[in-house]
Structure 1
Amino acid sequence: MRLGAIAAAAVTALTAGLIGAASASAAPEGCEVEYQVTGQWSGGFNANVEVTNLGDPVKNWDLEWTWADGQRVTHMWNAKDKSKAAAAKATGQGHSSTLATGGTTSFGFAGSWSGANTDPAEFRLNGRLCDGTVSDPSQPMTAVEQVAAMQPGWNVGNTLDAFGGDTGGETAWGNPLITEELLQTIKAEGYNSIRLPVAWDYEHTGPGPDYTISSERMERVAQVVDWAIANDLQVLVNIHDQMFTKELPDDPENVLAKFNSMWGQIAERFKDYPSELSFESINEPQFPTDTANQDAHTATLNVNFYETVRATGGNNADRLLVLPTWVTNSEQPHLDALKATIDELDDEMIAATVHFYGFYPFGVNVAGVTTYDEATQQDLVNTFQRTNDTFVDNGVPVIVGEWGVLGYDYTRGAVPNSPQYGELLKFFQATAHQAVEEQLTLMLWDAGSYLNRHTLEWRDPLLKAYMDSGFTTLSGTASFDSIYLEKAGTIADESLTLNRNGLDFEGLWQGDTALAEGADYTVSGDTLTLTAAALTRLAGDRAYGTNTTIEARFSDGLPWAIHIITYDQAQLSDVSATMDGEPWSGWEPCDASCFAIPTEFNGDQIATMEAKYADGTNAGPHSWTAFKELWATYRPDYEAGTISLTPDFFNEVRDGEPVTLTFHFWGGGTIDYTITESGTTVTGTSA
């Protein structure tokens, strides 16, 4: 039987280390599929599938179908099997992953059946139904198509949204001016859109009743938008200021007058711009004086934004408009409230937006959540699934306008474990992968932590590779990225659990040299065991720290690094010091404001820290947990040999009462240390 598809308006692909580009302009696309059962027996069958591309070339194709009778794929050849139960999915591999115009590829599979073996009713190539027709590129893109073409996106964070500071304006928060070269770099790195957060208020907007936005600010934003569109990037412009809109519950007349005036001016300036420009109502709306009605206040802003922009006419009559939930929260009540607003507006060119920074305890290393554990994984799956169920499945596209982890900040220097590096890689790749599964478009929040704006180079190319690859592949990993060997101890066999993620494990390598299965390692089920002999060789002279790094390789995706580390138990010294008592913002480095514990780390690193009083109750901030937040309350400095406790920690410690700190180390041990605050003097003693 033959079926066809208008192929997806945008395809996210990973080729030559870059995510494939997708233009905001539609291109002719379509396909057809021939499906044939080639053999059938009791409980099983074989089938062949042939895919022909009728439109523009498609990179990294995938084909999806479902069975009404519960059949399952049991084995697939000439394509990668990405099936999940009755939802079957095949993706191209190697040279067959690209389909030229008129190109054909085929694959086969074995399946199981029970009761009936009805052919699939439809196939979808890269998300679009097959019917043998070809799309008309002259037709405007739908909201769903346009949002899909934005994948992936990048925030120019802490730049046009910056204000104050000694320098003022765009550079006030440490980033350089936006240049066309920056946007060209972003495009070359595989991004298809930028989110441009803009502070229009403060020194840029005059007093009421006109609230005139300065021409300098308006034209600077226009310059950046022009550069982006000229370099084939879609642009999402918002009002990033929340300060004046927080007053909406107490002063609705003046807040709405200002909000509507600002959006009226912005919309009028850009009303003739092409569809590659879209508008977002406001960033993270919040109303601290009336939390009971926060969804209603959010709806008020969204509706006023919508009506103001549409009323300006021109291309704003059908421009894509993006509406946030309250504080861009993705809990179900807030999703439902925004869905009700969108239903009432009854406009097909609307998208929803939420933000995602992961499971909070994981993202900031608090409450003892130090790994990408089951709770963290489930939080990701649940968040994206309910967002899909509420909006995407009902025809409303979703932009995750900001994503990342809260604890990842390049200004912290070489402070690992916020979260732990290997667990961070898992999170970033899984987030991209889950977004594709749930058809959500991601826009990375980057305030300078990922791309160094001064050098236009990625600060961590491996992390970038994990983000990129998640859009097409979920790599194999292991339960941890390190094996710690105690320097004073006898080396024994060490085991890790493989997370195959549907891939085949293909062995261990040290550089270009393959380790020998049997002599160097064994695999039993998902348990990978390195032998004592191999670890002894890999540890070499057993100097403190990382002795070598090996790779676990799988049939697809990125290799998983495993670091062989030698350590001894850390040593914390007694110390007494006077805190300087100066005001401290929490963003500042730890100097005389902090209490520094001299520490010999001896190759080990801290996983987390507990703080308790003598009666067993929790001490310090986040009193609901004994495990304190990394960086906010304690800061290890492995180069300087200190663990610093911050003023924020001492602000919530009872004066004169000893506090027992328990430091948990990745090497597996714990160390107790007692601190006592007495006025401005703090005394620390080892157990």
Structure 2
Amino acid sequence: MARWWVGLLASAVATVLAGFGVVAATNAQAASGCRVAYAVPSQWQGGFSANVEITNLGDPISGWRLTWAFPSGQAVTQAWGASVTASGGQVTAANAGWNGSIATNGKVSFGFNGTWTGSNTAPTSFALNGVACTGSTDPTTTTTTTTTTTTNPPAGDAMAAVAAMQPGWNLGNSLDATGADETSWGNPRITEALLDNVRAQGFKSIRIPVTWGQHQGAAPSYAIEPAYLARVKEVVGWALADGFYVMVNIHHDSWQWISNMPGDRANVLARYNATWTQLASAFRDSSNKLVLESVNEPQFTGSSGDAQNAQLLNELNTSFHRIVRASGGGNATRLLVLPSLHTSADQAHLDNLNATFTALNDRNLIATIHYYGYWPFSVNIAGGYRFDATAQKDLTDAFDRVHNTFIARGIPVILGEYGLLGFDRHTGTIQQGEKLKFFEFFGHHAKSRKITTMLWDNGQHFGRTSFQWSDPELIAQIKSSWTARSGTASTDQVFNPKSAAVSAKTITLNLNGTTFSGLRHGGTDLVRGTDYTVSGDQLTLSAPLLTRLLGSRAYGVNATLSARFSAGVPWRIDLVTYDPPVLQAAAGTTASFAIPTAFRGDKLATMEAKYADGSNAGPQNWTSFKEYDHTFAPDYAAGTTLLKPEFFAEVNDGARVTLTFHYWSGTTVTYHVTKSGSSVTGAVA
């Protein structure tokens, strides 16, 4: 959805690959050879994240060990997809339990976080199981190959194939854009280089949302523009050539015209069927790694209720299944994805979708849902600015329902989109540490429930031309969660008031099954028992340590610590000097009102708004806590707190509103605003 608002055992992997026509080798003499692609998608002061892709050019291998030497003294701190050890500058990466087999021309990838000082020169010499990776095979060996293609996968392949699709990524806000072309929502044209770089990040599948409506002719044929269909096929072809599993769908058509089905059933169904008839023909002979999804986030306007909604969605999903299967070729057994209503994990919607699966009785079907978190946390409203027990339970309940309804019964599930709704505006809507805890737990529980996940990315995460991640901490946490849990903590900010003496501070560690291994400042390991102590899950930073690191105690972040655990990525802890923020009187309009604010090192968490009688003021008045970045927002650079037109649009004229600003230090500050027509005045309480 474009959100503007609104392991596998080696034997199982071998089975899946065989089912999709992978080349198998028979050797007259064992051939060996390999190619390694080493990439550093993100780097920061003293640290970096790397991805390594191995291509086996020789005979199939079972169990691999890649070795190399760092040229600049770098060190690996955490790894995923492989077990990495080092002796001096020599590094060895050994396969995980689920990725030990590499077919001829097959690929496997892993990643790691590391540290560097001085420079971060990439290694150029690698050896796979003792054989130098030169990009070619040993010329003294001979190899003959045979190709086998299975067009009717045996029972169980759908579950194994969906597992092999983990992890996945969405090419959002491009071909799904509803304007004239794929650039109309601000992203550049899709390139092969983009897909190559996404693949290098370790993603195994890519969802390519496509909106077709603005590229279709009139009834009765609803012909898709040949140039547009050719463009979609070109992008799909690039992705398949990169080795991705690829999912193509009908996307924003869901709300543009399909949602009218309750009042215009015949015409909507005719157009839907005509669309899928053309798409089924276009992709009939594509690789079995192409997966088709019937419709994105189905919804219906003006229906009589959930019973009719379920009936209409069943009709669409059933019609989609019939058309694709009847088109023959690879579509006879192609993996097909069917959504629940709204792609919701509510039990009633899951049960309705399960009834469709039972009726269709097709072993090559996949269920799909989307998940954007517990809504108050996901958009930062109603005081839900922490990833607390309520937000965590919403996630576990949803994933458990999906597992019990489908996966436990042998039906695979793809979580076709995930993220946080607050990302629609920018990723800072949710505080960094709380955000990282969400994604750590999300990855862990999805993995435990065997749900394949696809990150929604509309261009805000992975740069479409820079090929860099906008938030290295976030992607490091996401990647780590694919294979291991990471330790976190109750906070990533330790506040020290400038107006008081420095004192020891204690935070709670969330070990998440790991063990605490140490605390570091830059490249220096701090001394346990002197600089800090650990008692159970309580980490206490000593007053002498804080005094040393806070230095002159300028407002803001004075130093950053790194808590390290036995697995996963480190947890960053910022040491912050602050004093209570100071607000000043202001005058403005409902279109432009800013409160001068000296934040003095603190950060705004949320805002309450109430009238004099205690009732809630402003939009969404079922809660006093307003929506962050929608009705209010801090501007730290300008030294102001903005109250947006959306807030004043639902404030009573002439009534005084008391605002309570809550800051991450725990400080609260009250302020009064009064709207008179389009004029607004503000005063310190």
TM band (smaller chain): 0.7 to 0.9
Aligned-partner residue type, residue 7 of structure 1? S
- Using the alignment, how far apart are the partners of 1:393 and 1:407 within structure 2? 32
Could you give the per-residue CA deviations for residues 99-149 of structure 1, whole angstroms, max 9, x where no partner exists?
6569xxxxxxxxxxxxxxxxxxxxxxxxxxxxxxxxx98656511122111
Aligned partners of 1:23 and 1:192 also within 8 Å = no
Pick the aligned partner of 2:285 from 261, 269, 272: 272
Aligned partners of 1:482 and 1:562 also within 8 Å = yes
- Using the alignment, how far apart are the partners of 1:181 and 1:653 within structure 2? 50
Q: Equivalent residue of 1:458, what SS?
A: coil
Aligned partners of 2:374 and 2:391 also within 8 Å = yes
Pick the aligned partner of 2:375 from 348, 351, 360: 360
Q: TM-score, normalised by structure 1?
A: 0.79
| Superposition map of 1:233-252 within 5 A | 233-240=244-251, 241-242=253-254, 243-252=256-265
- Using the alignment, how far apart are the partners of 2:589 and 2:265 within structure 1? 49
- Using the alignment, how far apart are the partners of 1:322 and 1:627 within structure 2? 39
Superposition deviation, residue 58 in structure 1:
5.8
> Per the alignment, do residues 615 and 23 of structure 1 end up closer, same or farther by CA in structure 2, a change over 3 Å counting?
farther
Correspondence for 1:524: 535
Counterpart check, 1:207 vs 2:222: no
Correspondence for 2:678: 680
Percent identical pairs in the alignment equals 47
Superposition deviation, residue 26 in structure 1:
6.2
Could you give the per-residue CA deviations for residues 638-678 of structure 1, whole angstroms, max 9, x where no partner exists?
11111111111111111111111100001111000111111
Aligned partners of 2:20 and 2:149 also within 8 Å = no
> Per the alignment, do residues 25 and 594 of structure 1 end up closer, same or farther by CA in structure 2, a change over 3 Å counting?
farther
| Superposition map of 1:259-658 within 5 A | 259-290=272-303, 291-292=305-306, 293-409=308-424, 412=426, 416=428, 418-579=429-590, 593-658=591-656
Aligned-partner residue type, residue 613 of structure 1? Y
Superposition deviation, residue 454 in structure 1:
2.7
Q: Which consecutive unaligned segments of at least 5 residues does structure 2 have?
A: 1-7, 25-59, 66-81, 86-92, 103-146
Superposition deviation, residue 505 in structure 1:
1.0
> Per the alignment, do residues 172 and 22 of structure 1 end up closer, same or farther by CA in structure 2, a change over 3 Å counting?
farther
- Using the alignment, how far apart are the partners of 2:191 and 2:666 within structure 1? 47
Correspondence for 2:12: 8
Aligned-partner residue type, residue 644 of structure 1? L
| Superposition map of 1:143-154 within 5 A | 143-154=158-169
Aligned-partner residue type, residue 169 of structure 2? W
- Using the alignment, how far apart are the partners of 1:171 and 1:327 within structure 2? 26
> Per the alignment, do residues 362 and 564 of structure 1 end up closer, same or farther by CA in structure 2, a change over 3 Å counting?
same
Pick the aligned partner of 1:257 from 261, 270, 274: 270
- Using the alignment, how far apart are the partners of 2:23 and 2:496 within structure 1? 56
Aligned partners of 1:229 and 1:235 also within 8 Å = yes
Superposition deviation, residue 483 in structure 1:
0.2
Correspondence for 1:175: 187
- Using the alignment, how far apart are the partners of 2:461 and 2:471 within structure 1? 7
- Using the alignment, how far apart are the partners of 2:178 and 2:678 within structure 1? 34
> Per the alignment, do residues 97 and 184 of structure 1 end up closer, same or farther by CA in structure 2, a change over 3 Å counting?
closer
Superposition deviation, residue 524 in structure 1:
1.5
Superposition deviation, residue 10 in structure 1:
8.3
Superposition deviation, residue 27 in structure 1:
8.7
> Per the alignment, do residues 528 and 520 of structure 1 end up closer, same or farther by CA in structure 2, a change over 3 Å counting?
same
Aligned partners of 1:574 and 1:597 also within 8 Å = yes
Aligned-partner residue type, residue 143 of structure 1? A
Aligned partners of 1:24 and 1:149 also within 8 Å = no
> Per the alignment, do residues 183 and 24 of structure 1 end up closer, same or farther by CA in structure 2, a change over 3 Å counting?
farther
Aligned-partner residue type, residue 498 of structure 1? L
> Per the alignment, do residues 57 and 603 of structure 1 end up closer, same or farther by CA in structure 2, a change over 3 Å counting?
farther
Q: Equivalent residue of 1:198, what SS?
A: coil
**Deviating more after overlay: 259-268 vs 427-436:** 427-436
Q: Equivalent residue of 1:170, what SS?
A: coil
Correspondence for 2:199: 187
Q: Equivalent residue of 1:684, what SS?
A: strand
Could you give the per-residue CA deviations for residues 177-213 of structure 1, whole angstroms, max 9, x where no partner exists?
11110100110110111111101002x0011111111
Superposition deviation, residue 288 in structure 1:
2.4
Superposition deviation, residue 25 in structure 1:
5.4
Superposition deviation, residue 96 in structure 1:
6.1
- Using the alignment, how far apart are the partners of 2:661 and 2:476 within structure 1? 32
Could you give the per-residue CA deviations for residues 259-311 of structure 1, whole angstroms, max 9, x where no partner exists?
00011001111101111111100010101211332222211111111111112
Aligned residues: 569
Aligned CA RMSD, in angstroms, stands at 2.6
Superposition deviation, residue 8 in structure 1:
3.1
Superposition deviation, residue 163 in structure 1:
1.9
Aligned-partner residue type, residue 517 of structure 1? R
